[in-house]
Amino acid sequence: MYKESFIFTIFFLTLGPIKIISAFGKLTQGMTLKFKREVAIKGILIALAICLYVSLLGEGILKKYQISLESLEIAGGIVLLLSALKAIFPEIQPTNPPKSQPSALQLAISPVASPIVVPPVGVAAILIFVMLAPRHPGMGFVIAKALLVMLLLDFLVMFFIDQIIKVPGLMLVLQVLGSVLVFVQVALAIEAILEAFRNLGVFKT
């Protein structure tokens, strides 16, 4: 189940650039290019720090509170499923009156670094793979490579957001691709939960 392609797929769904284009474009609409790129640089550095923290210290926290891998897989599957269902049935956001523009650092911390680049479902995915890594030789390197690739793609999307959103038909393509990816995400979420039940011996493979 935990092949390199699977890890890249999960990280692409949870941490990848597709979800960033619309969110970052709307967030920085009307702002100067210099300001957008400052937010992008600071945001991706903070997101990298979050990923490093979760990767290096997450396993210790889980062991401290005696959280099993199976519990983490079930929790991660549920979060992945809820995230997909939220995309399928989006909530209507109330229109808030305009406020004074926050600084680049404030935007970079929230909402750019979290939850746009590193959402809770992304944290869950990192924790699950980090916990699995000792059982699979070479998996740690694959996790690091996949994380760096996703963060690089995220940064490029934010840094060149003005050029990207001007591509004719791109938003329509992303909408269709997003629908497909959401369905895949639901299937992967269910598979993660079933895998945990199989490991617990609830039912046979």
pLDDT in tens, 155-188: 999 999 999 999 988 888 888 888 888 888 899 8
Is the residue at 99 inside a domain?
no
Is the residue at 98 inside a domain?
no
Q: How many domains is the chain partitioned into structurally?
A: 1
Q: Does residue 136 have a pLDDT over 80?
A: yes
Is the residue at 97 inside a domain?
no
Is the residue at 134 inside a domain?
yes
Q: What is the pLDDT of residue 90?
A: 73
Of the CA atoms within 13 Å of residue 6, those in its CB half-sphere come to: 12
Q: What is the pLDDT of residue 93?
A: 57
Is the residue at 160 inside a domain?
yes
For 49, the domain range is: 4-89+104-199
Q: Output the six-digit token pair for 119.
A: 């959402």
Is the residue at 168 inside a domain?
yes
Round to the nearest angstrom and report the end-to-end CA distance of the chain. Answer: 13
Closest CA to 129 of 139, 121, 138: 139
Find out whether the peptide bond into 111 is cis, omega within 30 degrees of 0: yes
The mean of the pLDDT values for the chain is 88
